[in-house]
Amino acid sequence: MVCPYVGYVLPSSDHRQGVMRILAVDDEPEVVDVVRLCFNLRWPDAEVIAAGTGQEALTAIESQAPDLVLLDIMLPDMDGFEVCEEVRRFSDVPIIMLTARDAEVERVRGLEMGADDYITKPFSHLELLARSRAVLRRYQSQPSAAGETFETGNFQIDYGSRRVTVGDTQVSLTPIEYGLLYHLTRNAGRVMPHRTLLAKVWGREYTSELDYLKVYIRRLRNKLCEELGAEISIESERGVGYRLVSTNSQS
């Protein structure tokens, strides 16, 4: 089912047809009201549901199946980083972190926990809607090359099924992680410039967000190479970009 508002394929048949559902997680009701107003002014049929604590958010994500989560960092029972990390154990729902502090360390930590984007309060309704559209579009537009695979040593990626394996272990990747790995493997052995990867995976409006790329490269290295021993390496060409190469001596 395609949502007419952003061209996003809704993941669940439980939604009323054509209705986008947003979960706003914030213990300040006025912030939730602003979010609801922003979305309803642009998309009157959008449904904004609220959660005031981290536990309420986790319950709502499991039971309500939102299409997008706007997650505040400062919550009364657990911080947004903990919530994001826990959500990533069972869901790849798009998450945008909201915070009143514009600190690089917090932005990086949020991305490391699995967040897709980051907005600093106070935010304009145009920024909120633009970033929400970009995140939802990114989740819908996953790259594919049906029938083709990339294999080296114990590592394999099947582009048609989007299945990634290391030996006998299937690897669970978020849409951003898969998109990044897709472009690196499709261009294996060649340096992919930072701006090119950012444009292809996040969108053209993100080509200056180098922190996003660094964090997700680190996540891929951890998941594939450090935890599972995949026989690949993602090399950094300082100031230029990244290159994926095989570490299998017989490749």
Distance CA 195, CA 169 (A): 32
Total domains in the chain come to: 2
Considering the domain architecture, whether residues 109 and 168 belong to the same structural domain is answered as no
Which run of H or E residues covers position 120? strand 117-120
Mean pLDDT of the chain: 88
The whole model's pTM is what?
0.76
CATH code of the domain covering residue 6: 3.40.50.2300
Considering the domain architecture, whether residues 126 and 12 belong to the same structural domain is answered as yes
User: Is the pLDDT at 3 greater than 50, yes or no?
Assistant: no
Phi, psi of 19 (to 5 degrees): -100, 125
Residue 251 domain-assigned (yes or no): no
Distance CA 19, CA 21 (A): 6
CATH code of the domain covering residue 174: 1.10.10.10
Which tokens belong to 248?
């299998």
In angstroms, how far is CA 52 from the centroid of its own chain?
23
Which residues constitute the domain of residue 180? 149-246
Q: Are 198 and 182 in contact (CB under 8 A)?
A: no
Single residue among 113, 140, 167 that ends a domain in this structure: 140
* 3-class SS of residue 157: strand
The pLDDT value recorded for residue 8 is 37
Q: Choose among 90, 107, 120, 96: nearest CA to 25.
A: 96
The predicted-structure confidence for 130-186, as pLDDT tens digits, reads as follows 999 989 888 776 676 677 999 999 999 999 888 999 999 999 998 899 999 999 999
Considering the domain architecture, whether residues 174 and 233 belong to the same structural domain is answered as yes
Q: How far is CA 46 from CA 32, 39, 110, 119, 217, in A?
A: 14, 7, 26, 20, 34
The predicted-structure confidence for 49-107, as pLDDT tens digits, reads as follows 999 999 999 999 999 999 999 999 999 999 999 999 999 999 989 999 998 776 778 88
